[in-house]
Homo-oligomer: A and B are copies of this chain.
Amino acid sequence: MMQSEGLKIILSGPSGSGKGTIVKELIKEDFILSISATTRQPRVGEQDEVHYFFKSVEEFEEMIEKGELLEYANFCNNYYGTPKSFIDKSVEEGKDVILEIEVQGAMQVKSVYPDAIFVFIMPPTFEELKSRLIGRGTETDDVIEKRLARAVDELKMYKEYDYIVINDRLEDAVEHIRNIVRAEKLKSYRYKTYIEEMLTK
């Protein structure tokens, strides 16, 4: 009856916005999470094609060369990246895929997937953001200051996103994202085939 292609939802938000917890809730039911590729060794309990696509350096560099990665980076001598093929395949099967991506990475994704939905997760107040960052209790003042400065820079990018979800109560934030996805599925461009078929009968 309708076009059944899934949606690509890009979730970004400053450290302390709680986006990780939101993602965990969303993938319990209706969404699937994009799987990253990495060259680091699997840890105990990590499965290939479930937690990561584990690759050799040669395989990973071949993926880079062939343009198979949406974005990638190198941390501590290990590659991490987002393979396009898994996302494209999932979306074709009608699944809604979540990509949890940093603001900078998200802007790169926009040029590859202009039809993706960009959602920015916000802490309810700046004080709350600060206390969430401090609350972890494991960081020095210096690190916290740097994270706050970075959060401010990221917040300034909110206009580049389609939607803002304020993470005050987790259940509300999760429901807001489900709501956004339901509404996006009613966008008129998705009904092209449906209406054209209706009109040719």
Contacts and interface: CB of A to CB of B under 8 A. Distances in A.
Interface string A162-196: 11111000000000100110111011111100010
A159 B192 CA distance: 8
Nearest to A2: B166
Contact of A188 (B163, B186, B188, B199): B163
Contacts of A190: 164
Interface stretch (A75-83, A88-96, A150-158): A150-158
B126 A188 contact: no
Given A156-B199, A198-B126, A183 B179 contact: yes
Interface size class for chain A?
A: 20 to 34
A155 B195 contact: yes
A166 B201 CA distance: 18
Interface in A58-90: none
A187 B201 contact: no
A54 interface: no
Interface in A113-150: 120, 122, 125-126
